[in-house]
Structure 1
């Protein structure tokens, strides 16, 4: 039986090439995000976010600014219903985040609005109810930032002016994979 050396060399090179591709694939797979832990979804605001929310309300009141928290923790179902607005249901688009893609779903975000003396709630970024020459909204935002919140109005793609969040150094992807922030500031 005569062996064709060109075919043998071709097969060896093909096998070697497949081995290299398989090795690269295995290395690439190890770079993909792996499940971190099987943590349950939160059911309320994170304790630190809740504490900072209360501090925000108090500090704003000390500047004669009354605010209300219009939203906090949201379930996946609630987030999906909000996402549907302006898309598959009536209304205006107010979010680009589907269920599981919002810091609200992990208890790490709140939304606020200003409350007038007569009880009306407004989302007026220029309103100066305490008459100090500064927009009350921006005064609240500065207090929130000092407390460690990130403001949705600073985002480049989709400004969400009522939105305040604390990510604790975690991305949505990490939260989706089960990672959760610590529950006290000392543990961070």
Structure 2
């Protein structure tokens, strides 16, 4: 595709991309097989939802949870998910050192390793750390997405 062309008017996605959805399900299953129950805490996010999150800690109460406004997140294009571990009571925990399966490895990093094998990139590798964040960009930059490019439905 010619990435320098003018912006195309295409509808914004309204759900996770099919490949991201498929790999999200594989991630949950493969983590479970290793004795690590996880929950997906966020997936597709509308521009309005993204803007509300952006306002946290800025114009509304709470801690800052994101550095990007609506339209600038891979969540807005159905290409990102966030995860957490589940404890024995079924509550989400974000303890990156937890070793609930007793194999002397961080459950968090085991999940990240599975995710990377499935083709996700991890927000923990970024300068601004976003440890729960996993995304599949299909080689598309945020500029590409804003200009109307979309990944194919299948790889």
TM-score (norm 2): 0.96
Residues 1:174 and 2:144 aligned together: yes
Partner secondary structure for residue 39 of structure 1: coil
Take 1:124 and 1:76, find their aligned partners in 2: how far apart are those partners? 29
Q: Which runs of no fewer than 5 residues in structure 1 stay unpaired?
A: 1-31
Runs of 4+ more than 2 Å apart: 32-37
Matched, 1:73 2:73: no
Higher RCO (CA < 8 A, seq sep 6+):
2
SS in 2 for 1:164: strand
For structure 2, the residue ranges without an aligned partner over 5 or more in a row are none
1:161 is aligned, of 115, 121, 131, to: 131
Q: TM-score, normalised by structure 1?
A: 0.80
User: What does residue 151 of structure 1 align with?
Assistant: 122
Helix, strand or coil at the partner of 1:159? coil
1:38-77 alignment, distance < 5 Å: 38-77=9-48
RMSD: 1.1
Aligned residues: 153
Which structure has the highest helix share of the two?
1
Larger radius of gyration: 1
